[in-house]
């Protein structure tokens, strides 16, 4: 009886959604098995954490008020008055941080495994786009509780954005919504955080996932070099998928443990007229860049130091993003250069972040 019902339901859906075709495609998809297979799970973890962000974000919006006099107290209300409110908020805040960490891991693993090479150039670019969007989520979301640290960190962040050559002033004004960080900024950041960025994320994540399905998992050079009979694969469905589920559970456990042992608090309400507290720092993922900018003198020749810093970031990031168009796998020296280049960026990022944290 039950079998008949499920068969009929599947048939009904299949005729409309071509489920058999999808199932057949999934049944053919293979995942290479090698020593670096572990990194394949990063994308899945990122997807899980994104789902957590969306779900908890929707729940937070039920009580959050994007208005200067109520923003901080509404977050405090969520944290202290709503049953499980602190849990949902902590999941959102910790989840965001862990997501960015996982995206970094995903990006660098893809980079060092040369997963950006033909035909995956667009997968690489869309992945970088997703990371940028998540930075945007982090930057805009940080201000929403309207607490002291967030207020001043945002102020500094927008001041830095103002230094971007040519479009800096326009960009800063657009973000700030006035001369000072205030209601205009909060409204815009809220809008960006809950509407604009999610729409962008859906679009780019859709393209990214579609491309991953289209090209399949990339194979590292060491694997490609193996004799065909020595290469091992596993089926994506159900073998890899089941493993993916296990990794998701582990990731969820890590998140839940951190959330419960270290719940996310709320700082004192921002006072725009108060002096900035000592030691204001941005979120950890901006800390490396922030520390680098701090080291630059006010002026380098006739250009402002921060402008030079931003140009350096643009140059470094540009070459990093352009890797698939330069390192096509035809020139071993170029390939080695990009390996070293990525390694330098990774070491630099870690070193400057630790330095910034300790400074």
Site string for other proteins, 90-119 (x = CB under 8 A): x-----------------------------
Q: Tell me whether strands 30-33 and 303-304 are parallel, antiparallel or unpaired.
A: unpaired
Positions 234 through 293 that interact with other proteins (CB under 8 A): 234, 238-240, 242-243, 245-246, 249-250, 252-253, 256-257, 260-261, 263, 265
User: Nearer Cβ to other proteins, position 252 or 284?
Assistant: 252
Spell out the SS3 assignment of 226-268.
CCCCCCEEEEHHHHHHHHHHHHHHHHHHHHHHHHHHCCCCCCC
Angle at 54 between CA 48 and CA 55, to 5 degrees: 90
**Of the ranges 47-55, 231-239, 280-288, 307-315, which one interacts with other proteins (CB under 8 A)?**
231-239
5 binds other proteins per the rule CB under 8 A:
no
Sign of CA dihedral 222, 226, 232, 235: positive
Spell out the SS3 assignment of 160-215.
HHHCCCCCHHHHHHHHHCCCCCCHHHHHHHHHHHHHHHHHHHHHHHHHHHHHHHHH
DSSP lists the bridge partners of residue 30 as: 235
Shortest Å distance, C-beta 273 to other proteins: 23
Shortest Å distance, C-beta 66 to other proteins: 22
User: Nearer Cβ to other proteins, position 191 or 256?
Assistant: 256
62, exposed or middle or buried, with CB in 10 Å at 0-12, 13-18, 19+?
Answer: exposed
**Of the ranges 81-89, 176-184, 309-317, 346-354, which one interacts with other proteins (CB under 8 A)?**
81-89
226 binds other proteins per the rule CB under 8 A:
no
E strands of the chain, at which residues?
A: 30-33, 232-235, 299-300, 303-304
User: Nearer Cβ to other proteins, position 60 or 323?
Assistant: 60
62 binds other proteins per the rule CB under 8 A:
no
Encoding tokens for residue 94?
Answer: 């910790």
240 with 31: CB under 8 angstroms? yes
83 binds other proteins per the rule CB under 8 A:
yes
8, exposed or middle or buried, with CB in 10 Å at 0-12, 13-18, 19+?
Answer: exposed
User: Nearer Cβ to other proteins, position 111 or 236?
Assistant: 236
- Applying CB under 8 A, among 84, 202, 337, 357 the residue interacting with other proteins is 84
Shortest Å distance, C-beta 148 to other proteins: 17
Site string for other proteins, 314-353 (x = CB under 8 A): ----------------------------------------
State phi, psi for 168 to the nearest 5 degrees. Answer: -55, -50
User: Nearer Cβ to other proteins, position 79 or 218?
Assistant: 79
Shortest Å distance, C-beta 245 to other proteins: 4
- Report the candidate in 214, 218, 213 with the shortest Cα–Cα distance to residue 40: 218
Q: Give every CB contact of residue 193 below 8 A, 6+ residues apart in sequence.
A: 137, 140, 141, 144
**Of the ranges 48-56, 75-83, 289-297, 308-316, which one interacts with other proteins (CB under 8 A)?**
75-83
Q: Which residues sit at the interface with other proteins, rule CB under 8 A?
A: 79-81, 83-84, 86-87, 90, 234, 238-240, 242-243, 245-246, 249-250, 252-253, 256-257, 260-261, 263, 265
């Amino acid at each position: 009886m039950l079998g008949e019902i499920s068969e009929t339901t599947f048939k009904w859906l299949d005729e409309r959604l071509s489920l058999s075709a999808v199932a057949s495609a999934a049944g053919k998809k293979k995942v290479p098995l090698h020593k670096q297979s572990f990194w394949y799970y990063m994308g899945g973890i990122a997807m899980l954490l994104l789902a957590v962000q969306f779900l908890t974000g929707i729940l937070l919006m039920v009580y959050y008020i994007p208005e200067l006099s109520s923003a901080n107290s509404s977050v405090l209300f969520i944290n202290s008055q709503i049953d499980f409110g602190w849990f949902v908020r902590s999941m959102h805040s910790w989840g965001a941080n862990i997501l960015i960490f996982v995206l970094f891991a995903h990006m660098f693993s893809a980079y060092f495994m040369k997963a950006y090479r033909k035909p995956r150039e667009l997968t690489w670019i869309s992945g970088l786009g997703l990371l940028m969007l998540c930075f945007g989520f982090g930057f805009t979301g940080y201000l929403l509780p309207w607490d002291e640290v967030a207020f001043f960190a945002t102020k500094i962040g927008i001041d830095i954005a103002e230094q971007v050559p040519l479009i800096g002033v326009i960009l800063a004004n657009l973000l700030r919504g006035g001369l000072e960080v205030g209601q205009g900024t909060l409204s815009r950041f809220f809008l960006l955080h809950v509407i604009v960025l999610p729409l962008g994320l859906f679009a780019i994540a859709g393209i990214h996932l579609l491309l991953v399905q289209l090209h399949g998992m990339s194979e590292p050079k060491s694997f490609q070099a193996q004799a065909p009979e020595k290469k091992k694969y596993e089926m994506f469905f159900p073998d890899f998928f089941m493993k993916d589920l296990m990794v998701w559970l582990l990731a969820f456990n890590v998140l839940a443990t951190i959330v419960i042992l270290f719940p996310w608090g709320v700082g004192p309400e921002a006072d725009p007229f108060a002096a900035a507290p000592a030691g204001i720092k941005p979120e950890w993922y901006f800390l490396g860049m922030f520390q680098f900018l701090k080291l630059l003198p006010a002026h380098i020749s006739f250009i402002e130091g921060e402008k030079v810093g931003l140009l350096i970031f643009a140059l470094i990031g540009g070459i990093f993003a352009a890797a698939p168009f330069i390192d096509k796998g035809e020139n071993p020296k170029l390939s080695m250069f990009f390996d070293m280049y990525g390694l330098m960026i990774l070491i630099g990022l870690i070193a400057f972040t630790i330095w910034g944290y300790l400074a």
